[in-house]
A and B are shown apart, each in its own frame.
Chain A
């Protein structure tokens, strides 16, 4: 049996009196595609912030690729291989599309600031590689024709895709997508589902995604975890979740007795 790539052990996150996430546990196997759903304010994004080290869990442990990353700094976790996108798009708006992707690819560079300051030969060679790699990713995602536009000038759907491209450039093991389909029209959503599936199959990525669009979640996720008021209320295949009475109650309210 293969080892899980990510294990979350009983994580709790409290902000003062508010418990945003309570006793949350999760295991992700390599190349799994898992959905994290729940009503607004259920604590889904807080889980992402815990996984990426933006918050330090009040209790519990997070194990990623065999290492206990609880309390690690965000940049170290990123270097170990967790990439993410953001619910409210957070691109470097003043930089070009290509530069945004390169900012993601920067993580694996061997030459440092010293080489960059003097433009040494190894640094120039590596920059050529990074440039080629960034182009390849832009072509893959279908953003190569807008590569030199300012990221802030792109239409909404393309900005969402650029966030994914930037995360991909980090060559992560685990990709966290926070509402990737939010604000997309049905056609863009269909493209996105196709893209996410391809990322998993071709890049061998493990993907955890938060999404409100049930068509997306039910369509591509193999397993779904449901949060409500910071607690897991159900876990299972899309079919199991669809018919789970607790999930229906959380979304639609209790049926009158």
Chain B
């Protein structure tokens, strides 16, 4: 490949990505203006994006590198609380300079809040990862679970961020463009690493650690990198969530949240990036949709939608796993890479 061709292709793909992102943003703005997309639907669309971030970043740790982590909500919580605290602390500085509320000021504020969330969650990932990645399988799962709970209990006991009352009045800064820009970035990063020879190192660690070492792969380093990268994007998801909802509560980051993210990864097919995206969207929409169940009376007792929601959710998961035991896409990717593989098989 010549340098010229490289930059031409790179230019075209960046242009196409930026173009489609802006077009989608314009479309959403128009649909909202015309009332086709109401506030509630918009909220679901945004939650989809946040859950895609969480699922794809956990997939990097669990599915691609094979390290079983169930403390992802903890990293999300670290990112959410630190970035929100940062915004609340620095908004006065922005107000004094007349920057708060202006478009440019808001963008700068959000961007720096994202960076703060990302860095703090990545640091937390490093802190947890270095000692606990010596553990394998179930033991690592227990260690990460413990970490998640420690984070939640810690936040619960810090009065400065509201404790059990939660943190409110966080400026609402997240918009469609920012959220899906980050989603695009994470997807591009995962895909690039997954198709590269360097990225084979992660898959090698997942399949057989001893063989990976014998092939010259520094498995400890790769595991820590995967863990920190995953934690970092969970932190970004957290900060985007904080500035979307405007209110944080320690209860948002309970074990249940970690389990839901894990469910997205498993349901999508361990290791499949597009699988994680599909199941993140599916589960977000289904969980919202189940809020509108009718009240059902059984044996003289009325079951409210909130009671039935989790019953139906679990039922759906069981049926899906029976139908597709390896997840929606197995270890495959949806799209032209699958098509290309089949094409190659046909030719040979």
Interface residues, chain A, with chain B CB atoms under 8 Å away = 52, 54, 73-75, 78-79, 83-84, 86, 90, 92-95, 99, 102-107, 109, 111-113, 115-119, 121, 123-125, 127-128, 130, 145, 148, 166, 170
Interface of B is mostly: helix
Not counting A93-B207, A103-B201, A148-B341, a sample of 5 additional A-B residue pairs whose C-beta atoms are within 8 angstroms of each other reads A73-B218, A95-B203, A113-B193, A116-B197, A121-B3
**A125 touching B198 in the complex, CB below 8 Å, given contacts A86-B211, A117-B189, A148-B341:** no
In the bound complex, CA of A123 to CA of B218 (Å): 19
Contact flag A111-B348 (CB < 8 Å), given A90-B210, A92-B208: no
Which A residues lie within 8 Å of B219 (CB)? 75
CB distance B192 to A107 under 8 Å?
no
Segment 198-214 of B: residues with Cβ below 8 Å from A: 198-201, 203-204, 207-208, 210-214
Could you jot down 24 A-B contacts, CB within 8 Å? A54-B213, A78-B214, A78-B216, A79-B216, A86-B211, A92-B207, A93-B207, A94-B203, A94-B207, A95-B203, A103-B203, A103-B215, A106-B197, A106-B216, A111-B198, A113-B201, A116-B196, A117-B189, A117-B192, A119-B196, A121-B6, A123-B196, A127-B196, A170-B216
**CB nearest neighbor in B for A134:** B197
Report B-chain residues with C-beta under 8 Å of the C-beta of A103.
Answer: 197, 200-201, 203-204, 212, 215, 217
- B319 contacts partner chain A, Cβ-Cβ < 8 Å: no
With CB as the reference atom, state the residue of chain B lying closest to A78: B216
Query: What is the distance, in angstroms, from A178's C-beta to the closest C-beta of chain B?
Result: 11
B225 within 8 A of A: yes
Asked whether A166 lies within 8 Å of B215 as measured between CB atoms, the reply is: yes
User: Which residue of chain A is the closest to B204 with respect to CB atoms?
Assistant: A103
Contacts of A54 in B (CB 8 A): 210, 213-214
Distance in angstroms between the alpha carbons of A145 and B3 in the assembled complex:
32
User: Which residues of B are found within 8 Å of A113, using beta-carbon distances?
Assistant: 193, 198-199, 201, 225
- Chain A residues whose CB sits within 8 angstroms of the CB of B216 once the complex forms: 75, 78-79, 106-107, 170
* Contact in complex: A94, B331 (CB < 8 Å): yes
B204 touches A92 (CB 8 A): yes
Most buried by B among A93, A104, A128: A104
Interface centre among A106, A124, A130 (most CB of B within 10 A): A106
Tell whether B33 is near chain A: CB-to-CB under 8 Å: no
Residues of A within 8 A of B302 (CB): none
- Contact assessment for B193 and A116 in the assembled complex, using a CB-CB cutoff below 8 Å: yes
> What string of 1s and 0s marks CB contacts (under 8 Å) between B1-28 and chain A?
1010010000000000000000000000
Contact-residue bracket for chain B: 20 to 34
Bound-state Cα–Cα, A9 to B137, Å = 37
Cβ–Cβ contact B208 & A90, under 8 A = yes
Chain A residues near B214: list those with CB within 8 A: 52, 54, 74-75, 78, 83-84
Which 7 A-B pairs have CB atoms at the shortest separation, nearest pair first? A107-B216, A78-B216, A116-B196, A74-B213, A116-B198, A92-B207, A103-B200
Q: Mark B215-228, 1 if CB is under 8 A from A, else 0.
A: 11111000001000
Q: Which residue from chain A places its CB closest to the CB of B211 in the assembled complex?
A: A90
B213: contacting residue among A75, A92, A109, A127, CB under 8 A: A75
Q: Is B345 an interface residue (CB 8 A)?
A: yes
A52, A95, A119, A148 pick with most chain B CB within 10 angstroms: A119
Which residue of the partner chain, among B1, B193, B199, B341, contacts A125 with CB atoms under 8 Å?
Answer: B1
Check: B301 CB closer than 8 A to any chain A CB: no
Q: How far is the CB of B145 from chain A (nearest CB, A)?
A: 27
The interface residues of chain A lying within 8 Å CB-to-CB of B199 are 113, 116
Chain A residue at smallest Cβ distance from B196: A116
Q: Which residues of A contact B208 (CB under 8 A)?
A: 90, 92
B344 at the interface (CB under 8 A from A): yes
Contact status A92-B211, CB under 8 Å? yes
Q: For residue B196, which residues in chain A have a CB less than 8 angstroms away from its CB?
A: 116, 119, 123, 127
Q: Is A75 a contact of B6 with CB atoms below 8 Å? A: no
Chain B residues within an 8 Å CB radius of A166: 215
Q: Do B193 and A104 touch across chains, with their CB atoms under 8 A apart?
A: no
Indicate whether A130 sits within 8 Å of B197 (C-beta atoms), given known contacts A145-B348, A148-B345.
Answer: yes
- For A74, A99, A145, which residue has the most chain B Cβ atoms within 10 angstroms? A74
Contacts of A170 in B (CB 8 A): 215-216
Bound: A109/B345 CA distance, A: 29
The complex places the Cα of A90 from the Cα of B204 at a distance, in Å, of 11
